[in-house]
Chain A
């Protein structure tokens, strides 16, 4: 043994590198993404010790488009179409808080009917997003039926939004001062019919997916995020509510007409991947309840948007407004210097905040549980990169 060490030190003096058997040699480094079919446009580098993940390093930025910089070159209205690009499946919500912040800065007031239409579009879009997310979660677990059903039902909501806004996914519907146009004829009845059908379908989703013993075995008890950790890491949305914190911006800071709506914040206390997958489902069911009330309470006639001046502007100031999106709190921090263009726009998105939980949950988990944990975080890579 002494011989060996002598030889090693001699070789090192000569500048040779001797590989010793150490812990590092046991580990395998694996790059998940950015072309991985499940990861989206996102990469995280994991180190594996056998089957277990011992290190995880997220590497986002593959779809970084500089949205925050782009806003500084366009006026408040021109910014809307490109600001919804980070998450086109939830495009009404991502422009919602932007509109709220601009309204606070410029002093525009939204007519009451416009506020209701906004909330309706926002709830419909939440369904679209969550169904899309659920479809991918289903195929991640190898449950192809759960991929097909939500994809099909999502199409019905897209049709509704198309009738409302004129576009399938990128609506540019919310503008400062209200919404772009009024609801079409017969929209309310069509919407109610759709919700009635959809609530039946949700029951079937629950039976085939959430009560499926295979799904439960794969998700229950996997990736525990305790309440203390969830708060410390500052996660938001369904990830937070699955850890037993009943926090929803619609309840905490009701915007527009949400203080007139009666609904419960859906949350669970088991804090595992199943809870994180089930809370969005509960949200969808509650959202149907909200939609019915909104359609019922919406004023029959009236303006849907305030009249804007050509280039809306306000006194210098700043505003920070949030809404509850499909992925949690979505905040805009806008500084205005009195010109029609914002001086600085910061978008605080749920995906970026929830990314911090990914290394926390993956370290110590099995590689086979990676998709279950990862997609239950409700993570949207494009939104996180902005």
Chain B
């Protein structure tokens, strides 16, 4: 695994950004316009989803109706982020207690340091990688939480970044959040994302003699299904 990733040099210029369109010129406007999150996310996901379109769902939920008006507190946090980074950070959605932002890989360390030092998100709860073969991308998303700030206790800020699928490399966040150490290691072996600067891009949960592609990539199929 490591030999495969090592032989390629730092050709990092092929990163693509989620929803790289001009309609969200600044993150501030996207926050105030309050786009329905599901539709915007649908732009990302539907590219990679199977062509069978889902039937219209009639049921409504309180969670979804609340989404139409993003709560002020979350909007304030998102506004603070976009005031500092401008176009560098893209606000994907703002829901009650949940914010998702997307950044380019070279900026993620800087943004994460800001989130830790200025906004009080002091630990990472989860690191999840998702494979999007249709876009030829892998998304890695960090869910950050706060233990120290009471008003942020229920909030989860998700910071997502995308890398090219063929040469999946991302800067590690271990120097900002020590708590991502094992999660990033797991993402490395399950999706083949090499975290530059991580001390141990090594096998963790899989068997020692595992000789197949990273199992959470979509082309890996469970036998018989």
Contact = CB atoms under 8 A, between A and B. Distances in A.
Interface string B154-171: 101010000000000000
Interface string B89-115: 000000001101000000000000000
Contact of A247 (B59, B147, B225): B147
Given A73-B225, A316-B49, A320-B156, A104 B125 contact: no
Contacts of B180: 234
How many interface residues does chain A have, given as a range? 35 or more
A68 B216 contact: yes
B198 interface: no
A60 B178 contact: no
B178 A233 contact: yes
Interface in A207-236: 231-234, 236
A252 interface: yes
Contacts of B190: 68
A118 B158 CA distance: 28
Interface in B67-100: 97-98, 100
Contacts of B216: 68-69, 344
Interface string B177-208: 11111110000001000000000000011110
A140 to B, nearest CB: 24
A339 interface: yes
A253 B143 CA distance: 15
Contacts of B225: 73
Contacts of B60: 107
Contacts of B213: none
Contacts of B48: 337, 343
Interface stretch (B13-21, B23-31, B37-45): B37-45
B57 A107 contact: yes
Given A60-B205, A107-B61, A231 B148 contact: yes
A339 B153 contact: no
B49 A337 contact: yes
B50 A339 contact: yes
A177 B59 CA distance: 12
A237 to B, nearest CB: 12
Interface in B132-161: 141, 143, 147-148, 153-154, 156, 158
Contact of A240 (B45, B131, B147, B205): B147
A233 B147 CA distance: 12
A344 B128 CA distance: 9
A336 B45 CA distance: 8
Nearest to A254: B154
B215 A66 contact: yes
Contacts of A313: 54-55, 57
A75 interface: no
Nearest to B55: A313
A104 B63 CA distance: 7
A25 B141 CA distance: 43
B205 A64 contact: yes
B34 interface: no
A203 interface: no
B147 A231 contact: yes
A23 to B, nearest CB: 21
Contacts of A245: 147-148
A185 B222 CA distance: 44
Given A68-B216, A346-B128, A339 B52 contact: yes
Nearest to A100: B63
A336 B46 CA distance: 10
B57 A315 contact: yes
A356 interface: yes
A338 interface: yes
B182 A356 contact: yes
Given A253-B153, A315-B38, A335-B45, A320 B57 contact: no
A338 B49 contact: yes
9 contacts: A231-B148, A232-B179, A233-B178, A245-B148, A315-B38, A316-B49, A317-B38, A344-B131, A353-B125
